[in-house]
């Protein structure tokens, strides 16, 4: 198996992406995140031969750049979800959160018909390999607080601020995010 990687700039800093031989996204990771691994290292552990090939990553790159420029709110690039059936159900639910909006862990639990599973939603969120495309940054605490993001809260805040700015968000909303 081969995976093709590329790093590009995003509103939250450098973003590494990996696609398979058909161009489907395998992984997205913010380089400045608080992760204990790299995309390349993780893929190699899974048996992928990692290479660079800009022609293979072109569609994913283009869509990421459009998102960063405020020109894309939904992604069309195919992607691969690797996880348990529960995780996949949560991740699919995350893709239904509209751009610039947030949902609570409890609301996501209700979307997947397990309304008492908000903590399990949080655990699934933490293992999401495709932030932005599977927008885990749009999930917040029941009290409206910004809670958890695998790469660090600074990234979550940056992404939410970016979407608020693109939508013409008011200064008060952006100010609350900056204080988080």
The pTM assigned to this predicted structure is 0.88
Residue of 18, 19, 93, 136 with catalytic role: 136
Count of helix runs (H) and strand runs (E) in the chain:
7, 6
3-state secondary structure of 23: coil
In whole angstroms, what separates CA 30 from the centre of its chain? 9
Using pLDDT thresholds of 50, 70 and 90, give the confidence band for residue 172.
very low
Class of domain 2-68: alpha beta
Q: pLDDT by residue (tens digit) across 24-70?
A: 999 999 887 766 678 999 999 999 999 999 999 999 999 999 999 99
Instruction: Please state which of the ranges 16-20, 65-69, 86-90, 174-178 shows the lowest mean pLDDT.
Output: 174-178
Cα dist from 50 to 47, 77, 99, 104, whole Å:
9, 20, 31, 36
Cα gap 124→149, rounded to integer Å: 11
Q: Which fold has domain 85-179?
A: Arc Repressor Mutant, subunit A (1.10.10)
Stronger pLDDT, 155 or 58, i.e. the higher one = 58
Instruction: Please state which of the ranges 10-14, 109-113, 157-161, 163-167 shows the lowest mean pLDDT.
Output: 10-14
Instruction: Provide the sign of the torsion angle of the four alpha carbons 157, 159, 160, 166, taken in this order.
Output: positive
Task: Quote the pLDDT of residue 147.
Answer: 86
1 is catalytic: no
Cα gap 32→13, rounded to integer Å: 7
Annotated domain spans of the chain? 2-68, 85-179
Cα gap 21→102, rounded to integer Å: 33
């Amino acid at each position: 198996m081969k995976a093709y990687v590329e790093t590009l700039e995003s509103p939250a800093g450098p973003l590494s992406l990996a696609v398979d031989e058909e161009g489907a996204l395998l992984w997205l990771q913010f380089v400045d995140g608080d992760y204990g691994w790299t995309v390349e290292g993780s893929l190699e552990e899974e048996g992928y031969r990692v290479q660079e090939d800009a022609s293979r990553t072109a569609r994913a790159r283009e869509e990421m750049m459009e998102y960063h420029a405020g020109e894309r709110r939904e992604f069309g690039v195919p992607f691969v979800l690797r996880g348990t059936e529960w995780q996949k159900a949560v991740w699919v639910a995350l893709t239904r959160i509209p751009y610039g909006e947030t949902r609570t862990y409890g609301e996501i639990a209700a979307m997947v018909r397990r309304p008492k599973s908000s903590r399990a939603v949080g655990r699934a969120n933490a293992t999401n390999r495709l932030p932005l495309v599977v927008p885990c940054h749009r999930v917040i605490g029941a009290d409206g607080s910004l809670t958890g993001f695998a790469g660090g809260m600074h990234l979550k805040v940056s992404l939410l601020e970016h979407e608020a700015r693109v939508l013409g968000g008011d200064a008060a909303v952006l100010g609350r995010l900056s204080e988080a």
